[in-house]
Every structure is written in C-alpha cells, then in structure tokens.
Chain A
Amino acid sequence: MIKAIIYKEWLKTRYFVAFIVLVGLAIHIYSFLTIGHSFRNTGRAELWDLIVNRSHFIFPSLKYFPLFAGLLIGVTQMVPEMVDKRLKLTMHLPVREKTMTTYLIAYGLILLTTVFILFNVVLATFLHLNFAWEITATTLSTTLVWYLSGLAAYLLSVFCITEPTWKRRIPNILLSLLLLHFFFITDYPAAYGYFTFGLVLLILIYSTFIYNSIHRFKTGYQD
C-alpha cells in the first residue's frame, strides 16, 4: 500500500525532481567555477582573507535554490490533487485520513531531504578538497538553514494548497510568508548557530498545519 502511494506521488513529481536536480547541479557547477576563477585571478590568499576576516559567504547563489525546490515539489504534488477535488479519491482509499496525510507529507520531505543531502555531499566534498575544516563547517551550517527553508517551503505550500477555501487560504499564504522569513533573517555565515535546532522544531510545527487543511477539505469546507 505504501509502495502504491509512493508510486502515485512519484508519477506526479518525477519530471520536476529531475528538473530540480539539473538546476541544483547547474547552480553548484556555476558556484564551483566562480570560486575556481577567483582562485586563479585574485589568489587563494585574497579569497581566504575575504572568507575569514570579512565573513564573506562564497556560495550566495545557493540561497534560494532549496526554497524553489520545496515550493516546486509542494505545488506539483498537491495541485493535481486539488484540481477537480481529486484529493477525494485519495481520501477514499482504504487508509485512515491522518495516516494518508502522513504518507503524503513524508513522501515530499524524504524526497527533498534526499536531494538536499546529495547536494550537501557534493558541496562538502568540494569544500573539503579546497578549504580548511572550519570554513567547510561554517559554510555547511549556513547552507543547512537554507535547506531547512526548502523543507519549510514544501510544508507551507502544501498547507496553503490543500486548504479548501480562499477565505482561509489567503491568510495562510501571508502567514506562510512570515514563517518562511525566519529562515532568511540574516546572511551572515553560520549566524543561526544553535537556533538551527529551533528551525527544525519550527518545521515539525509547520507539518502539523497540513493535517488541519486536509481535514477541512475532507469535511467539506467551501467558500
């Protein structure tokens, strides 16, 4: 049964997953080439000075990629369910409402986490080969917050899309924008520190919102 649900979700999202992987690879390759270019033109010492003394972050182009990926998966997974109220078909399957909701969310979160881990491994390898451990750790802790924003964007987009009424969906969108803002308060490298764990907690809280939207859909709320 779980395999069937994964199969359905995969059919909806597979082309977009491929697109996200391609875009992610392109951004990473572009970032690596840019840094390589800086190595050659300005010299390693200059670049180190920028990173260590002036807290310059060298992968700014990665900032919105996870956000974009999270939104795209949320939209491609849930819009087909909401068109013609196809979610009714899903809710009619012999699985309890909350269990089905959990499966749907888990699919998106696991998919995104897998893609994000893949890119983090690529990034970590590049950093490990070119920089000291401290710079690698600072960079990864900075990008971790952005990757968490991707998971939050996914959950909040599902929360907004599955809400059955526009009267409630519009405030939900505004609330979601505010909640996403927590992930972009500062660009300063590794600025979030231990608050990153707080962001993980926020994501867990955001995931509970979806149960409410889907329950409202299931019980027939409408404009």
Chain B
Amino acid sequence: MESVITCKNLTHYYGNRCIYENLSFEVPKGRVLGLLGKNGTGKTTTINILNGYLTPRSGDCLMFGEPSSALSPDTKRRIGLLIEGHIQYSFMNIQQIEKFYSQFYPNWKKEPYYELMSKLKIAPKQRISRMSCGQRSQVALGLILAQDPELLILDDFSLGLDPGYRRLFVDYMNEYVRAQNKTVFVTSHIIQDMERLIDDCLILDYGKILLQESITDFVRDFKRYHFTQQNGAPLPQAEGLYHPEQIRNKVEFHSFLQQREVEQALQQQNIEYANLSSETLTLEEAFIGLTGKY
C-alpha cells in the first residue's frame, strides 16, 4: 500500500537528552494512525519533524515522497494541520478566517465550515480570541474540513476540551475520514478518544517504539493477567510479562502471551500461583499495561 508518511531512522536529541533513536515508521494511505506515548516521549517532536518545524539530528522524513523540511506549496496544500491547543489566528473572527484561508486552497469547501459554525453559540463578528477552547476547536476543525486535505495531522486535539466537545470532534472527524478515505496522523493524551478514531497505533516509550500495529490486534492480543500468590512467591520477571504489580496476595501483569504460555513462564520461574485468569482490555488500559503507570 502507498505510504503517505515515511520516516526512516529518525534520531533526535534536545541538548544531551535523547528523545528517540532510529525511529522508523510508515503511515499507509487511507489509514488513521494514532501516536501514543507518555508525556515527554516525543509525540509533539515527531509532529514538528513531520511538518518541517524541526530538523532531526539524523534520519529522513518524507511526506508524499518529499522531504518534510522542504515541502513544496502543492504538498503543503494536501496536508491539513491542527496545532496543539487548536491555535489559530485569534485576531480574526470566523468570517475573516474563512475568507483568509479560502484564498490558498482551490478545493475550499466553505459549507462544512459554516455548518459547524452554525452550531456554536457565537456572534458572527466575535473574535476567536474571545471564544472558549471548545469553540476554538470547532473553528480549527471546520477549517480543516473546508480545506479538504488528503492527509490530516492533528496534534493533541483533545487538549483543553470538555467531554462534550471531545466527543463532537471525534464524531465529526470519524465521519469525515471514513467517508472520504483520508489519511490521519493523530496524537492525543486522552486514549479513550483515540480508540473511537484510529485504525493503527504507534506507541512510543522513552527513546524507542514499543509497538506499531492495528488497535484491533493490540486489544485482542494484549491481556491483563491475575493470580493469587502462594507461599510468598516473588513477582514474575520473564520477558513478555509487562509491569507486574502486587497488592496484598493478588498479582497482576500484562502480556501478549496466551494463557498456556504464561503458565509455562510462571512454572519456569518456580512461581507458585492459583486462580490464574486473564481479561481483555480497552485501548487505554492496554496502553497503561504496556507502558506502565509511572
């Protein structure tokens, strides 16, 4: 499948602090990829590199086959960008900003923008700077819908939004990208919102990729296991058993392994257990299970 975004061996440091080394991934056309990671793992850094707002220490990043650091106007026209915090030209009102952007995009569709604006309880001449964060998010979303880009890059779209606006944003975006077969690269710190939107996830840990696969496979294969500890056995430490924790005599950990393989791993470590059971997880629970709570 044709790749819209291709990053090869990206390495970036802030001073001496390594953000990641040799990060490689692709986003195929028509897929919605969510970049997940704890704070400080490099999500916004990656978004900045994709848009050419940051030069990585090494590695290549191509958008529609062009280096992200030197995108041509035609390629920029194919990319819709939502900056973290729904930043827009706050000195404009909703009519002015629509008039402004429409001049840059030949396929501009003002109808979806004004349809969304009609739902906001704002005066037509109200400046964006005087709007709530939720209202600003709708302005930014409406502008992206009007631009009708092939690729959407959404940096932490849920930042500052209440649950209602988050739901509204996700519902609109979901409907739009499925109907139009758009490619989306999205980050958010609220994983619940992502679960309803994304096809694939790329999970970053400090300095590396932990996982890149479809969320269907991830939540199907990655499980939480529990058992009751017997005779003060130690916590399991085998490879493939993530973040074991103990509360009184109940032990919990996460794994991609099947229950039979987990039993074998526990037996190899001579861990005495009883009542081993597993449960399937939501994307958020699976994310925390894989990356840990701390």
Contact = CB atoms under 8 A, between A and B. Distances in A.
Interface string B48-59: 100111110000
B153 to A, nearest CB: 10
Interface residues of B, number: 29
Given A4-B103, A94-B74, A220 B54 contact: yes
Interface string A195-223: 00000000000000000000000111000
A86 B87 contact: yes
In the A-B complex, list the 3 residue pairs whose CB atoms are closest, starting with the nearest: A220-B54, A4-B103, A94-B73
Contacts, number: 68
B100 A12 contact: no
Given A1-B104, A92-B76, 16 more contacts: A4-B100, A4-B101, A4-B104, A7-B100, A8-B89, A11-B91, A80-B91, A88-B81, A89-B87, A94-B104, A94-B105, A95-B73, A95-B104, A219-B52, A219-B53, A219-B55
Interface of B: 48, 51-55, 69, 72-74, 76-77, 79, 81, 83, 85, 87-92, 96, 99-101, 103-105
A123 B103 CA distance: 40
17 contacts: A1-B104, A4-B101, A4-B103, A7-B100, A8-B92, A11-B96, A88-B83, A89-B83, A89-B89, A91-B53, A94-B76, A95-B104, A96-B72, A219-B52, A219-B54, A219-B55, A219-B69
A1 B103 contact: yes
Contacts of A95: 73, 104
A136 B161 CA distance: 63
Contact of B92 (A3, A11, A85, A96): A11
A84 interface: yes
B103 A220 contact: no
Nearest to B49: A220
Given A94-B73, A94-B76, A220 B89 contact: no
